[in-house]
Amino acid sequence: MNTRSGSHFIAALISVGANLALAQQAPPAPMPAPPDTKIETDNLAPGIYMLTGRGGNIGLTVGPDGAAIIDDQFADMVPKIRAAVALLAEKPVRFVINTHLHGDHTGGNDAFSAGGAVIIAQENVRKRLGSPQVNPSNNQTLPARAREALPVITFADSATLHFNDDDLEFTHLPKAHTETDIVVRFRKANVVHMGDLFVGGFPFIDGNTGGTLDGYILAHEKVLASIDDNTKLIRGHGPVGNKAELQAFHDMLVVVRDRVARLVKSGKTQEQVVAARPTKEFEQQYGGANFDAQQWLGRAYVDQKRALEMHRRK
Ligand SMILES: [Zn+2]
């Protein structure tokens, strides 16, 4: 398929839940990768892989239709991602699916799109990448991303990519890690890329881009209802997981959220909530991977205080 006929082909290939936006390609921008970061490749099912490097874990499908990836880490990782894909696929990446807007999952968009790939994401990814955003790691304002980094096919609630003899089902889970999150389910292979809705420790809830702890927990409930004990779950960060591990992660968050909510309702301050250690029995398993329990509780307090105020306003 050449890139000119691509948009027609894709329009036919994808059944899109809502709107369809198409844009032009841009010239390539080669970037050196840090010499110390390697891409590790794990085979999860026939033709389906997880690539781990620096940034969010990548899902990869290769087969008769070519290659598609879910998330693309950082710009400087693109040559290494391409090299890892080239070991398994004869042709370059045709589709990039973004699980959400964060730069450690979308940083390679510019280069992949310049190389001819079509970027697909929930419509809020395009909205947010196309305007200045707060960098969640240091609260500084990031400028809008270049035009070629923006998804060209977007949808509101769901879409399906029929590719390599499987159906890749994209489902939007609103107000969870951000307001842009999707999970990607390989219906036949029974593999799900969870994006940052499943990570190895206490999860980051990005309130600046519409994330909420309550929505994060609801997202798990939707996913748990659609998978089984054999489903392989690609975490946004961390090792491949399964349903029991997602259930345990979800149950932990429900317990902690309910405790924090109760403390917030009774008028406790942030310091008092942190001091009460509502994360106590979970700190060994979930602490430290992203946040220590104190940092995370500070954020959970702010989240639940906001949730309470929203509830009272209704
Ligand atoms: Zn993220």
DSSP at 193: E
CA 252 to ligand 1 center in whole angstroms: 20
pLDDT band at 16, cuts 50/70/90?
very low
What are the pLDDT digits (tens) for 59-80? Answer: 999 999 999 999 999 999 999 9
Distance from the alpha carbon of residue 105 to the mean position of ligand 1, in angstroms = 7
Q: How close is the Cα of 102 to the center of ligand 1, in Å? A: 5
How remote is the CA of residue 196 from the centroid of ligand 1, in Å?
Answer: 5
The pLDDT confidence band at residue 35, using thresholds 50, 70 and 90, is: low
Question: Which pair of structure tokens corresponds to residue 255?
Answer: 């317990």
Q: What percent of the chain has pLDDT over 90?
A: 82
Closest-CA residue to 60 (of 76, 73, 44, 83): 44
Phi, psi values for residue 205, rounded to 5°: -110, 115
Average pLDDT, the chain: 90
Distance 266 CA to ligand 1 centre (A): 31
Residue 152 clears pLDDT 50, i.e. is over it: yes
Q: Determine the longest span between alpha carbons in the chain, in angstroms.
A: 62
Q: What angle do CA 224, 230, 231 make, to 5 degrees?
A: 50
For residue 34, the CA-to-ligand 1 centroid distance in Å is 21
- CA–centroid distance, 267 to ligand 1, in Å, is 31
Bridge partners (DSSP) of residue 193 are: 184, 234
